[in-house]
A and B are shown apart, each in its own frame.
Chain A
Amino acid sequence: MPTLGELERAVMDALWSADAAVTARDVQDALAGRELATTTVLTVLGRLERKGLVTRERSGRAHRYRATASRADHVAELMRDALDATPDRGAALARFLGSIPDDERAALRDLLD
């Protein structure tokens, strides 16, 4: 029995590799090897939508889903969080190379962009 986390990964991967917005049925077909029930796919899509990772639009009678941002964009967001670890964010995550003092934060941002 796959965990919800694994299913979310699989569904996101399916959305990321699709070119356009897709229906829950398309996702189900893309994950055919897993033999998921439509309700399961809808549940997972609903969770991802609540997390702000997926948007839903209506076309005719079907709902179509797409990822709000590309995989690379999300990775970039995580990297920004991790590299921008100033002392006032020190409680959120701890970086191996330590934190950057506030007065040099702007300089670091310039380097990252």
Chain B
Amino acid sequence: MELVALGLLVFGVALAEPVSRLLARARWPGRDPVGALLLWQAIGLAGGLALLSAGVIYGLSPLGAPRPALESVLDELGAGRLPALDVPHVVALVLTAALAARLLGVLVAVTVRTLRVRARHRELLDLLATPWPAAPGARVLEHPVPVAYCLPGLRSRLVVSAGVLDCLDVDQVWAVLAHERTHLRERHDLVVLPFVAWGATAPFVRGMVCAQFAVATLIEMRADDVAVRQASPKQLSGALGAMGGVAPAAALSSFTAALHRRLARIVEPPAPLPLALRALVRLIAGVLVAVPLLAVLG
């Protein structure tokens, strides 16, 4: 049992550090953003589960297989007796419980904060922005700086500033709205939320920060892909170019670099990943999550 626990520990650490870093640097995700997003979710979930199950399995190892051992410990505790475990194993269990509480606690805290920011923003929007008849569901905010964004959630909002309507033609605005609607429809906010939360738990783990950034880039790729299909590459790249050129962030090197990568990908899209490889990516994602689950439950 100790060996299984050690294996899971190594597996979890490997996912959090070298694997995340390698995947963040890989080029194929641009050819299959949806597959890559699934893989990132699997890595996050499997990494967390592996570390937690390593602690549980090691902590309970003197009592035999994890599941019956857990049941007997719960029975003992329920009867008011302490289970027969020595100090190192008890420490492992306590640390595991603390890690679980921390991961869940941060996720809840970030969710609450996000919902609060969104609710405040939506309240002000509903007072200040005017519905735009040309595009159902879109609102216009009277401000000369061009910005387009969506506020996700059950009561989602789609917003363009007056500056956008000044610097884009109607077809380009359509492409922008198609991009934003994809974020809303596919709930990309929920895709990024765990990475935002866990990036905040352990910002010193470089792999976590890479993951957060990579996932943020991938949802933009995915939304671009859909917008290109619903509008056209020319409209979307025209909108990106026009808005990027006058954006307040245009002087930031990382901003312009990211913008150029996005423009290049729209104008010359990389060949999609072959079907067999797409299937393989999804299979790997499933296996990653299954490993720690089988170790505990199997």
Contacts and interface: CB of A to CB of B under 8 A. Distances in A.
Interface in A65-113: 71, 74-79, 81-83, 85, 87-101, 104, 107-108, 111-112
A61 to B, nearest CB: 29
Nearest to B115: A92
Interface stretch (B29-37, B46-54, B191-199): B191-199
A24 interface: no
A88 B200 contact: yes
A93 B118 contact: yes
B213 A81 contact: no
Chain B contact surface mostly? helix
Interface residues of B, number: 55
Contacts of B193: 91
B43 interface: no
Given A91-B114, A96-B243, A111-B249, A79 B145 contact: yes
B249 A9 contact: no
Contact of A12 (B118, B127, B258): B127
A16 to B, nearest CB: 10
A113 B284 CA distance: 47
Nearest to B243: A97
Interface string B218-258: 01100000000000000000011001100111011011001
Contacts of B248: 83, 108, 111-112
Contacts of B117: 81, 89, 92
A8 interface: yes
Given A8-B127, A75-B143, A81-B117, A94 B188 contact: yes
Contact of B196 (A5, A79, A88, A111): A88
Given A75-B142, A83-B145, A99-B216, A90 B192 contact: yes
Interface residues of A, number: 37
Nearest to A90: B192
B93 interface: no
B289 interface: no
A93 B149 contact: yes
Interface string B161-184: 100000000000000100110010
A25 to B, nearest CB: 22
A21 interface: no
A100 B254 CA distance: 8
B95 interface: no
A33 B114 CA distance: 39
Contacts of A74: 124, 127-128
A74 B125 CA distance: 9
Interface in B241-298: 243-244, 247-249, 251-252, 254-255, 258-259, 262
Given A91-B114, A92-B114, A100 B251 contact: no
Contact of A87 (B151, B213, B243, B262): B213
Interface of B: 110, 114, 117-118, 121, 123-128, 141-143, 145, 147-152, 159, 161, 176, 179-180, 183, 188-190, 192-193, 196, 199-200, 212-213, 216-217, 219-220, 239-240, 243-244, 247-249, 251-252, 254-255, 258-259, 262
What 5 A-B pairs are tightest by C-beta distance, nearest first? A96-B148, A95-B149, A94-B183, A91-B193, A92-B117
